[in-house]
Amino acid sequence: MNPAASTRPGPEAPGTDVPPEAVPPILAGGLPRALHHGSRGLTAAELVGSAHAAAAELHSSGAAEGSRVAVEGDGTAPDRLAHLLGSDLLGAGALLLEPGWSAAERAAVLEDVAPDVWTGGQPGTPAPRFAARGSGRSLFHFPTTSGSTSRPKVLARTRSSWWYSFEAFEVGITGEDTVLVPGPLSSSLFLFGALHAMHLGAGVELLERWSADEAAEACSRASAVHLVPSMLAALLAVLERDPRARARCRVRRFICGGAEPDARLRERLAEALPGCELVEYYGSAEHSVVALRGSDGLLRPARHVETEIRDGPHVVHPGGTGTLWVRSPLGFSGRMESGALTPAEPGFHSVGDFASAHADGGFTVLGRGSATIGSGAELVPAERVENVLRSVPGVADAVVVGTPHPRFGSLVTAVLEVDPSAPPPVAELRRVARESLSSAQRPRRWLSARALPRTPAGKPARGRIEDQLDSGELPTGTLR
């Protein structure tokens, strides 16, 4: 096999050794040792009771196998989880609405899903156990893309695809862990973290919304944490300035998705929490888990996943670069449009990420094609530039975009979220850029923002930032 085309089979997951029609609800896969949300705690039995109560309420509202359920954001995280699991008991798919969406985003998502039933708030009193319905082919969840553009896409994933994902996510978490999920369950990254921990029988602690201070306090109880690099940077900032919080932290493993942490962030983690492991994975809303990073720094396909790196129709050889393509049973079944599922074509799919191929099936993700800036005759990979800039002290986060220029088409523009008490001098930013980036990749404009617009998963909302820069809505200053 060409090393740039790789697959990693593994032990049979539910859905391979079990016929699709016999795949049980997600709730049957495992229960958390305990579920905590602020001062509220639920036992496994109480969560099961809440899910069955939600199923009974949905059934009385007309939900049935194959229905589409919209879960409002007016309840707590455990309530929303119960509504999701209750929908699955009926064989219905659930959409977790994000309270932070704009009116236009919410309307677009609802137009595409066209829910049959709406629910929200706290489920009622426990009801008699509901006989499970549906199968592995039943739609379980309607994830949305990151919302970094004005209209999120709505995807559809089956019950079986989640079972596969649980099997593939080999990150060292066990039933002995307590797993902190510090972001909203409307983000598929955090929802997966919660359900995966539940599947393993681990303890689960949920935060309603990301707060670095609240996460630092919760780290005194958690042994594993799901987050994205910008969250890890903010959390470390709290621990670095508060020795008591750092001493209370019992986390032994951070599970990091969404983007690749830069070298400086890894160094900060090693300095603040010696011996704490950083486990990195690559995935997407479309494909779920795709690859895990090994000790050699390379990504390798997760169990059941095949990858190819192609330049046009051809698979590239080691050392070459191209577009990453993925085929796996973990992925989405299609896209929801006007209440109907447009099925995904069989075979390989791509979200447009560029990657470089290495021997033995390893690869490095270089960034998304949509995050490439055309400046003069050069194509500049924005994420490569961002990783360099995040290593500069005083830079909390960075987004690099193209701003219009009459001669060059676009100017490479850095928009930096900075520490207002110690903003980085632009001379230092330029020095680091000169040392690490080619001439075409170096930013020509340097802007600062107190807070970058973000997706529910905590990642910078690139498309929104570009739009707000263009319209003047994003308050920025020029770094000097």
**pLDDT tens digit sequence for 232-291:** 988 999 999 999 999 999 999 999 998 888 888 999 999 999 999 999 999 999 999 999
- pLDDT for position 308: 96
Q: Express as a percent the part of the chain with pLDDT over 90.
A: 65
- pLDDT for position 236: 94
- pLDDT for position 373: 80
For residue 6, pLDDT beyond 80 = no
Say if residues 132 and 24 touch (Cβ distance below 8 Å): yes
Residue 144: band (very low, low, confident or very high) from pLDDT cuts 50, 70, 90: very high
Provide mean pLDDT across the span 105-125: 94
For residue 193, pLDDT beyond 60 = yes
For residue 118, pLDDT beyond 50 = yes
- pLDDT for position 15: 45
- pLDDT for position 10: 41
- pLDDT for position 377: 59
For residue 11, pLDDT beyond 60 = no
d(CA 455, CA 259): 13
For residue 180, pLDDT beyond 90 = yes
Which regions of the chain carry the CATH code 3.30.300.30?
376-478
Q: What is the pLDDT of residues 426-448, one digit of tens each?
A: 999 999 999 988 888 899 999 99
- pLDDT for position 376: 59
d(CA 8, CA 458): 30
Provide mean pLDDT across the span 468-480: 88
- pLDDT for position 5: 57
For residue 230, pLDDT beyond 90 = no
Buried b (16+ CB within 10 A) or exposed e, 302-325: bbbbbbbbbeeeebbebebbbbbb
Nearest alpha carbon to residue 132 among 19, 23, 14, 20 = 23
3-state SS of the chain is: CCCCEEEECCCCCCCCCCCHHHCCCHHHHCCCCCEEECCEEECHHHHHHHHHHHHHHHHHCCCCCCCEEEECCCCCHHHHHHHHHHHHHCCCEEEECCCCCCHHHHHHHHHHHCCCEEECCCCCCCCCCCCCCCCCCCEEECCECCCCCCCCCEEEEEHHHHHHHHHHCCCCCCCCCEEEECCCCCCHHHHHHHHHHHHHCCEEEECCCCCHHHHHHHCCCCCEEEECHHHHHHHHHHHHHCHHHHHHCCCCEEEECCCCCCHHHHHHHHHHCCCCEEEEEEEECCCEEEEEECCCCCEEECCCEEEEEEECCEECCCCCEEEEEEECCCCCCEEEECCEEEECCCCCECCCEEEEECHHHCEEEEEEHHHEEEECCEEEEHHHHHHHHHCCCCEEEEEEEEEEECCCEEEEEEEEEECCCCCCCHHHHHHHHHHHCCHHHCCCEEEEECCCCECCCCCECHHHHHHHHHHCCCCCEECC
Higher pLDDT, 135 or 379: 135
**Architecture per CATH, 5-364:** 3-Layer(aba) Sandwich (3.40)
Instruction: Calculate the average pLDDT of the chain.
Output: 89
Which regions of the chain carry the CATH code 3.40.50.12780?
5-364
Residue 43: band (very low, low, confident or very high) from pLDDT cuts 50, 70, 90: very high
For residue 12, pLDDT beyond 70 = no
- pLDDT for position 135: 93
For residue 2, pLDDT beyond 70 = no
CATH of 376-478, one of 3.60.15.10, 3.30.300.30, 3.30.710.10, 3.20.20.70: 3.30.300.30
Q: Report the length, in residues, of the chain.
A: 480
For residue 3, pLDDT beyond 50 = no
Q: What is the pLDDT of residues 294-351, one digit of tens each?
A: 989 999 999 999 999 999 999 999 999 999 999 999 999 999 999 999 999 999 999 9
Residue with token string 């496994």: 44
Provide mean pLDDT across the span 66-83: 95
Q: Please, which residues bridge with residue 8 across strands?
A: 305
- pLDDT for position 420: 79
For residue 23, pLDDT beyond 90 = no
In whole angstroms, how far apart are CA 426 and each of 387, 395, 407, 477? 17, 11, 24, 12
